[in-house]
Structure 1
């Protein structure tokens, strides 16, 4: 006769089971806490992506020599760049223009002042380096009129610089966290070629009306305001319209070219440091901030779905697939010139290169080096201007004698 089977837990240590239960409970709590932290961090990142950014200080004024008209700033990848730039300041001046680098060391950069700063002036230490150079439309000394473009969110302010016979227009679109002033550098190039320039604003940029959510659509909503500007140009007599977009303005311009009811009027695009694929840009910027890939992926995933709107506060889902113009390259119909630096430092040029490979029949890319994000004009104004003139001439937008 066989001996009776022993119970499965016979002889087991009750304390061991209790310890395992405690360990599993602690592990579950730790896992839940980690997931909650991941979710919270991702939500914060998602909100940051769609929230209109304020200008952040990125350098400090170390010294100001009003007799020599020089200024010394902390050294950054931007403040050491050759060329002409601007500096947002506080105190007796809110914006000053900077010239060439006169001296530099490991921690500081001395530059020439192009805006006269008097001996009684007082500037705060915190400052923001800028590629704008021109801050106001009247600084160009060109005829212009302020306009209002009617859009779904309300009247959007614009500057109109008339030129030539009015047949060819360029509509300029600024980037994320900036205003129309960013575009002023390009106006003289187009004016000299007889091309009328319309510099526009769009929802939530601080000048145009606020949408209900008050957040960016990364081009998926803003393009409608720019499309309204294309309609404005048509009503004013434009026969052909070019779109010029800076950074996120490039993403907006691309969406206009793909979705506009006025596609027949659009004749080409000029893109400066453009966002062509947001996933590449957000992944790059997250790595620069040492954000884990899992956080970035979760933030992008959340932004794509309406159910996450209460958390991301985006107001509506962001269609990243539709904003990926490399994936949609077959849909492109308009020739384009892209000006992008491989040393951009903010919007990597990878997608711009990919777009040339995808549509070599339509896309021309002028690759810069050293120049940083949207600062190509500042770094090499001659090459930047010549590239635009040559492209416009080759595409028949201006006569060769005008160029």
Structure 2
């Protein structure tokens, strides 16, 4: 007999799948947990960086851009030098090729003359115009049949051929090196642009109030740098006063004493002359630098309308008749390193452990420098950035 029991409620059926009424509750619970998890994640997300952190990040990016700028300057210098070399080699190859063609034509004229007169064995024209006439002549023992003038023509042709081939190889190698330098130049340029773009993006996200507070932080930093500059200026002024007093006392003693101290006086005079000579050079350097104040910083620029830091120092010392290398990394190697306390006007002050920035010391703890993108050439305390070293170029 068939059963008449009421079937159990098995919930909604999907073809091929059996489910339970609890499934709906479970899905809702999982959704709720996921939402709570997202909320918790948002709540524990990293807080917005402080203005001090933003400033440090921006300063770091500008410094990294400075490093990339020096790499760009070095790559550009190599590229320019290599391009000049390639151009010279290509001109040389063209000139030698012309001489080679002239030598070939002269050989051809001899061959043609021999053919017309029948004074040479058959095939003379071919052998004279061969790629290696000397080898052909040696093999055929025909050199003794040529006149001295014809032999000279063969020798000249071979010399031109060898030299032209050599110069072509040099030009090919230089072109390959030039291509590598151009690739380095492009990579350095992209690196600079990327760092500057990141810095601008960070600053663009600040509100007007945050920008005002950031400016206040910057002013505080500048004031502290000025305070240190004034302290150095007082220290140097005191040392100069003591030096002058000592010199005056020595002169008085020398005048009052016998002539036995003449050698010492001569040495002192020589030292004074050397110092005076450097001061004259430094005056020209500083005059030039002062005339550039207000011109914009542009990375890779060497003037006259804009400069980067090492471009300015190079141009300023060039105005005094002294040639400096292009990059900060090379400029720091020129001349003599002196202490900050003994810095004199005209000296170069280098900054950061990576030596990515440089300025021209003008005395009183101040310098003229091309600071960074968005800023103009200006006077600033040397303590605005961490000092690496001070160098006297001559």
TM-score, length-normalised on structure 1? 0.20
With normalisation by structure 2, the TM-score equals 0.20
Greater percentage in strand: 1
Q: Which has the higher helix share?
A: 2
